[in-house]
């Protein structure tokens, strides 16, 4: 037990660089660029995007042209070749602008993560360069009967000559209606559980691939979410990710180690936005002869929000720094995603409370932020799944 306790204090191989919490000049310039983009392009449109369930395609294109998206594509494939830390810095600012936009804009990064971690050189050259040139992609894993329990997926791929034939249905696929291609996790050995899974790269215009209706979600409504149906979809063997069957599970899970720090950054940005709205309102509104924030009950709520946001960011940065250092960040990413998602829900709920009756009205942004926060506790591994991951990792 003593070994378990001692191992929980930090990371044994995390060197002195881990305690330097300042941004370098390039990172700070990137943060400022992302923040200004959110001020100019995201916040002015966020309410309309949400009310109209409008996919922010033009804004996503603009963010891509500014160099704010898919930062982890290596330079040799046309990308910026930056790290996870730069991505989380940008993603916090984009989610501060609007979490729905941040989710819609980030979907492609998740979809190409398995290509970066497990694709062949030819696949990286083809598919990563497509994204560097502006293509959009979606990560298709979840199914109607397989959400948290990924090993229960039913979508199958059967080899037929120099092609594979895919059949099945995916659900809750972010960006599906606008994707140029999909990363699809399927069963190539139905009896082998998670050891029988393979990943495929599937063009969106493939014969037999159809999309379901756009889901009407509680929040983040500008993020296009649909089912994807595969009915005899033929995919060439060169689109089998990594060139080998039954290697898809690890690639799909490695993608989450890359993406969860960024979802944590989204949650941090959302919480920060909700806090700032609440703080401004508490400075403008007066009750019983005093500004709202002068009442200790409200002031302490705001203090707790601020502390939680600071902790959320630090957990997020640690998980990103470990990834960039080449260290295993599975547990750190789970800590960051779980804590930040729960904090986003708590802070946005408290922000509505600070606004009182006005907070319950859609005329004020905190209602939209509260609706947007809930899904962060669900997608990319629910808060309960993150606890399972942390428990498994700490007991190894």
Q: Report whether 190 contacts 219 (CB < 8 A).
A: no
- Residue 73 CA, chain-centre distance (Å), reads 16
Give φ, ψ of 361 to 5 degrees.
-90, 140
Give me the residue label for tokens 């690639």. Answer: 251
Report how far residue 331's alpha carbon sits from residue 257's, in angstroms, rounded to the nearest whole number: 9
Question: What is the number of alpha carbons within 13 Å of residue 345 lying toward its C-beta?
Answer: 11
Strand segments (E) across the chain? 137-140, 156-160, 163-174, 181-187, 197-203, 209-211, 225-236, 286-287, 290-291
What is the distance between the alpha carbons of residues 261 and 323, in angstroms, rounded to a whole number?
9
Q: How far apart are CA 31 and CA 12, in angstroms?
A: 30
362 is catalytic: no
- Residue 224 has which token pair? 């296009």
DSSP 308-325: HHHHHHHHHHHHHHHHHT
Catalytic residue selected from 87, 92, 93, 380 = 380
Q: Which residues contact 28 (CB under 8 A, 6 or more apart)?
A: none
Inter-CA distances, 4 with 291, 334, 394, Å? 48, 18, 7
Q: Which residues are catalytic?
A: 380
């Amino acid at each position: 037990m003593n070994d378990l306790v001692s191992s929980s204090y930090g990371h044994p191989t995390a060197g002195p660089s881990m305690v330097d919490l300042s941004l370098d000049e390039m990172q700070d310039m990137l943060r400022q660029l992302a923040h200004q983009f959110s001020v100019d392009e995201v916040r002015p449109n966020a309410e309309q995007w949400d009310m109209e369930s409008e996919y922010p395609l033009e804004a996503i294109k603009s963010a891509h042209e500014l160099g704010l998206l898919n930062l982890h594509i290596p330079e040799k494939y046309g990308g910026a070749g930056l790290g996870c830390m730069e991505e989380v810095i940008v993603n916090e600012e984009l989610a501060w602008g609007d979490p729905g936009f941040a989710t819609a804009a980030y979907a492609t990064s998740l979809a190409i993560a398995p290509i970066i971690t497990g694709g062949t050189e030819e696949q990286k050259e083809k598919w990563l360069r497509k994204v560097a040139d502006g293509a959009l992609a979606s990560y298709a894993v979840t199914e109607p009967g397989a959400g948290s329990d990924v090993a229960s997926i039913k979508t199958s791929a059967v080899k037929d000559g120099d092609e594979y034939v895919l059949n099945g249905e995916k659900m809750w696929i972010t960006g599906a209606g606008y994707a140029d291609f999909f990363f699809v996790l399927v069963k190539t050995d139905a009896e082998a559980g998670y050891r029988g899974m393979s990943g495929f790269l599937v063009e969106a215009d493939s014969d037999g691939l159809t999309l379901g209706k756009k889901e009407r979600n509680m929040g983040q409504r500008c993020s296009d979410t649909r089912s994807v149906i595969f009915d005899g979809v033929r995919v060439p063997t060169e689109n089998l990710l990594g060139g080998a069957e039954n290697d898809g599970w690890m690639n799909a899970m490695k993608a989450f180690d890359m993406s969860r720090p960024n979802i944590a950054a989204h949650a941090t940005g959302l919480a920060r936005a909700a806090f700032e709205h609440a703080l401004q309102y508490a400075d403008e509104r007066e009750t019983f002869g005093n500004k709202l924030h002068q009442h200790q009950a409200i002031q302490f709520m705001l203090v707790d929000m601020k502390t939680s946001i600071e902790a959320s960011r630090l957990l997020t940065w640690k998980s990103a720094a470990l990834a960039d250092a080449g260290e295993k960040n599975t547990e750190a990413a789970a800590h960051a995603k779980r804590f930040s998602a729960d904090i986003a829900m708590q802070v946005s709920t408290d922000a509505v409370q600070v606004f009182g009756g006005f907070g319950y009205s859609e005329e004020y942004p905190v209602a939209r932020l509260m609706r947007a926060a809930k899904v962060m506790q669900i997608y990319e591994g629910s808060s309960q799944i993150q606890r399972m991951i942390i428990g498994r990792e700490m007991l190894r």
